[in-house]
Amino acid sequence: MKRNRRVKILATLGPASSDPAVIEQLFRAGADLFRINMSHTSHERLFSLVADIRAIEGRVGRPIGILADLQGPKLRLGTFAAGPSELANGATFVLDGDPTPGDGNRVFLPHPEILTAVEVGHHLLIDDGKVKLRCIAKPDPMTIVTTVVVGGRVSDRKGVSLPDTDLPIGALTEKDRADLDAALAAEVDWIALSFVQRPDDIAEVRKIAKNRAGIMAKIEKPQAIERLAEIIELSDAIMVARGDLGVEMPLERVPSLQKQISRACRKFGKPVVVATQMLESMITSPVPTRAEVSDVAIAVYESSDAIMLSAESAAGKYPVEAVAMMNSIAEATEHDPTWRPIVAAQRSEPEATGADAIAAAARQIGETLAVAAIVCLTQSGSTGLRAARERPFSPIIALTASPPMARRLALVWGLHCVVAEDARDVDDMVDRGCRIAHAEGYARPGQRIIVVGGVPFGTPGSTNMLRIAFVGADGTGSA
């Protein structure tokens, strides 16, 4: 079962899509990986979903990736004594450490770290930015006096965002630590970390994960944008979390930030996922808006590694249709004659290493000879990542002896992952590459393929060999 597109589809599971039969339908409709949102998933349910996905994987014969998305810190207001209050523009409103229920003049903020960190001039956003406050005074460390910049209704436990404040808290809460341990025990393939502000947040999770799962940093804070290069370097992948990013930063900046993050990830050779509201109207409608179709297509033109569905597949009325629609849009975009020159124009220069030079040469030779496929033997995943970073137009088959690595690489642009034994020698490497390219439906007898690997075999990161091979009449190969 091969996809007719390079970009991958990440579908979120939820109430509308937790049944094993529906999950399998989502995969067959085009989902390459599944996201489990730990904000709404118990550990028991997590293990059950992972078992269901692994059973589907066995039936369809394809590696399927699983992403566990950690909730991250949730900053919220206290309660109001008489129900919701309306804040008028220009009014004064106080947030403090007094647990007494609030009113139209003040409210308890049960986060002393916010009270002490906010400075005069900093903004506070309530309820996803619907209400905007600006700090005008700090009479004491536990009191914030604000003026209402954008008025509206405030009520119990509404969320608080702080776009200007660098909070002295890590990205992992006690709940996140427990969820992380459970996700690693369930052997998920990716961990998505919310509320990333600094590289140290990634290092903390990496120390716990110990390479048992890839670490994906969600970029949703202005502080993360300021240290983007450092965060990308320490992460295994990046998610452009456009929802929270659009709350904490001006909405008009989100498209340019999406491009900036995508380009930076390609430069570093790290996968990037574009997420949030891609087909939002399909939560309630069987057909998306024209603007949503264009939004998905733009991410494909940017050659993002993956595009994600959230509530559309988790809680919407049309989860399978949403995946099928995203698949159709991606396929149509990649068949557009303008797609290739756009992708080619965005390529980064290869790093000055032998492995990167081999990957770049494979792309160039592949285009010159119009090869049927580029076959990469990869153990640590680095060869597959390097090949994908070049964005070749020849299909890329990633052969690995590790099922967990095949699942992890299912996120990466253009990689068709196959679990296979390590090659014994160079002849076996060539023969194995030809037979699998033929069996997977990528190469016909008489066509050429490129085989990329490393000697000695089984040594991670040793990419140093490129062979051009012909597929024989029986599917075997010769260099």
**Residue 276 catalytic?**
yes
**Catalytic pick among 5, 6, 8, 35:** 35
Helix axes 43-60, 174-185, angle to 10 degrees: 30
**Catalytic pick among 41, 276, 378, 400:** 276
DSSP string for residues in 74-140: --B---BTTS-EEEPTT-EEEEES--S-B-SSEEE---HHHHHH--TT-EEEETTTTEEEEEEEEEE
DSSP string for residues in 366-395: HHHHT-SEEEEE-SSSHHHHHHHHT--SS-
- CA 470 remoteness from chain centre: 37
**Catalytic pick among 28, 45, 54, 76:** 76
Which residue is associated with the tokens 């988790």? 314
**Are 185 and 176 a contacting pair, CB within 8 Å?**
no
**Residue 138 catalytic?**
no
**Are 149 and 134 a contacting pair, CB within 8 Å?**
yes
**Residue 165 catalytic?**
no
CB-side exposure of 47: number of CA atoms within 13 Å?
A: 6
Calculated CA dihedral for residues 5, 411, 66, 295, nearest 10 degrees: -60
Token pair for residue 464? 């140093």
Sign of CA dihedral 461, 464, 469, 472: negative
**Residue 6 catalytic?**
no
**Catalytic pick among 218, 242, 363, 435:** 218
Calculated CA dihedral for residues 17, 22, 28, 31, nearest 10 degrees: 10
Active-site residue set: 35, 76, 218, 276
